[in-house]
Structure 1
Amino acid sequence: MCIKFLLQGPLDKIKTKNIYKRKYYKRKQEVRTRINQWIRITPIQLINEKGENIGTIETSKALEMAKEEGLDLIEIAPNAKPPVCRIMDYGKFQYQKSRKEKIQKSKQKKTEIKGVRISPRIGQHDLNFKAKQAEKFLNQGHKVKIEMILKGREKGLLDIAREKLNKFIEIIDLETVFEQEIKRQPRGLFVIITKDKKQ
């Protein structure tokens, strides 16, 4: 961003000076896991290397136990009261954490609204093709917006268009539910459907 200021002086010697305003961006802070001597709070809730709950003990005592076994003391729930720490190998902890995050990421499917357009004059072959297209989107976990495009005098035949839209949904070889009921839009009618999760 550039801001110009007029410097005082005779009119014939007026000069301008550019002052540039810097933009500062906050860096996203990375949440780091505290281990061993970096765990300053005491007492803590301790879990041993076998996953057994030892109970609430002083941090210094937990550090001694971890050292005796050649392992690390890792803070796994810093917001708990008291914080929960576990005795285990830090390298193994990082591997398990990374693997868990990858699994969760792969399970999170990005849901999109896919579009399928039909018209009152569409032939049966094209109608079946569009239905298969909608099935494919639904099986991929997406929602499907079905648009009935109406032109000219067709806009006055809303009941017939609505009936044909419902018949198209019946052709789809899947159990579906209405995410949004049939509604009017400037170009005709539309409905949003999704795959029935109970199926």
Structure 2
Amino acid sequence: MGPNGETVGIVPTDQALKLAQEADLDLVEIAPMGKPPVCKLMDYGKFKYENAQKAREARRNQTNVIIKEMKLRPKIDAHDYETKKGHVVRFLKAGDKVKITIMFRGREQHRPELGYRLLQKLAEDVQELGFVESNPKQDGRNMTMVIGPHKKKAEAKAEVKAAKQEAAAERAAEQAEERAERTSVQPATTRKAKRANEALDPDIDL
């Protein structure tokens, strides 16, 4: 094959090398298992550079999927449930998947409906942030369910960054306002002190 993908045809190896030298290119074997093997005239250094650039760009655009895990007992009390749910909410807001594991002990293993109802309740409580990606299933002494976030990781990061920038701007505005108030109050206080001193001794030149 020629440098632009055109077919040159079947030629002896020495002739192919001669064509590469005349074109100031490299002879690269791209399909060694072909009969006959397929080679292409190309700038191998440029080819490697472009492939490296494509690989780097692919890694940059790749989204790392992180699965967090939250473990609950089937008879968890209300306070602990709210705490665990808060963690799940935080994970989903960050764009992470969450694996919920219900751990059964002793006779609890014979009442899987307790775990199923708890998982259903949790899924309903966080439905605005995530969806059930993997339905509840029994796995020995545990029951598991996976909740996926509605928003992708990149979107979640962008929202968090925007929220931080907005909060920083609000703090800067409040600080500027406080400085302005202190500046406007100071002269009035100084004038008040001056009038008080003049009342005590009108001959004092302030």
Letter in structure 2 aligned against 1:64: K
Distance in 1 (CA, whole Å) between partners of 2:90 and 2:44 is 49
Structure in which a larger fraction of residues adopt helix = 2
TM-score by length of 2: 0.54
1:87 equivalent in alignment to 2:41: yes
Across the aligned residues of Structure 1 and Structure 2, the Cα RMSD in angstroms comes to: 3.6
Structure 1 pair 130–153 and aligned structure 2 pair: CA distance change class (3 A): farther
2:92 to 125, 131, 135: 135
- Distance in 2 of aligned mates of 1:73 and 1:151: 67
Measure, in 2, the Cα distance between the counterparts of 1:174 and 1:69: 58
Match of 1:177 in 2: 133
Cα distance in 2, alignment partners of residues 136 and 55 from structure 1: 58
- TM-score, structure 1 as length reference: 0.55
Q: Distance in 2 between matches of 1:169 and 1:154?
A: 21
Structure 2 unpaired stretches of 5+? 153-206
SS in structure 2 of the partner of residue 159 of structure 1: helix
Structure 1 residue runs of 5 or longer lacking an equivalent are 1-46
Cross-structure match for 2:144? 191
Q: How far, CA to CA, are the matches of 2:15 and 2:147 in structure 1?
A: 56
Which structure has more strand as a fraction of its residues?
1
Identity across matched positions, percent: 28
Looking at structure 1, the residues matched to 10 and 64 of structure 2 have their Cα atoms a distance apart, in angstroms, of 42
The C-alpha deviation readout for 1:146-174, integer Å capped at 9, x for no partner, is: 11245677666542332011221232422
**Larger Rg belongs to:** 2
Indicate the SS of the match to 1:175.
strand
Change (3 A) 1:79 1:110: farther
- Displacement over 4 Å in runs of 4+: 103-113, 150-157
